[in-house]
């Protein structure tokens, strides 16, 4: 059995998230998703929705075997517990693939690291990022 991991913030689910998770699920028999805790998000605006709500929403998706909250101090703890065969990064996530591979090797975790394919809008006006959704809400209702 092949186990894949995807990870992210997943604040306000959108079609880009679904594309990423479908790509990740296609690489394994099981897909585990690690949802970042608000306190650990430092590369962009903090999530709007609570940690548990974001995890529950991801966990409800058909392609997800199980969603987990990230560890508060060490992002690799859930990966050590799950022991995946592949970690699938979003096509535009900020992570350094070589840095992740090195950290995994230091911990004795043998798995591939790859990226999901980009998601292209299917129709005019489709919003594929949380930031764009928030901006649209502020423009129209702010």
Binding site, annotated residues for ATP: 9-10, 14-17, 92
CA distance 129 to 127: 6
> Annotated binding site: which residue ranges?
9-10, 14-17, 92
CA distance 128 to 24: 17
Collect all residues with Cβ–Cβ distance below 8 Å to 51 and sequence separation of at least 6: 35, 37, 38, 69
- 23 touches 116 (CB < 8 A): yes
């Amino acid at each position: 059995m092949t186990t894949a991991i995807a990870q992210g913030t997943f604040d306000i689910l959108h079609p880009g998230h679904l594309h990423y998770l479908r790509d990740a699920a296609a690489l394994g028999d099981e897909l585990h998703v690690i949802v970042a805790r608000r306190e650990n998000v430092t590369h962009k605006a903090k999530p709007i929705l609570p940690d548990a709500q974001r995890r529950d929403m991801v966990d409800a998706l058909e392609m997800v075997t199980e969603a987990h909250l990230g560890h508060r101090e060490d992002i690799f703890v859930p990966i050590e517990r799950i022991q995946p065969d592949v970690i699938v990064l979003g096509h535009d996530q900020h992570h350094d693939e070589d840095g992740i591979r090195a950290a995994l090797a230091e911990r004795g975790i043998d798995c591939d690291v790859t990226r999901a394919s980009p998601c292209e809008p299917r129709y005019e006006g489709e919003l594929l990022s949380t930031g764009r959704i928030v901006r649209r809400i502020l423009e129209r209702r702010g």
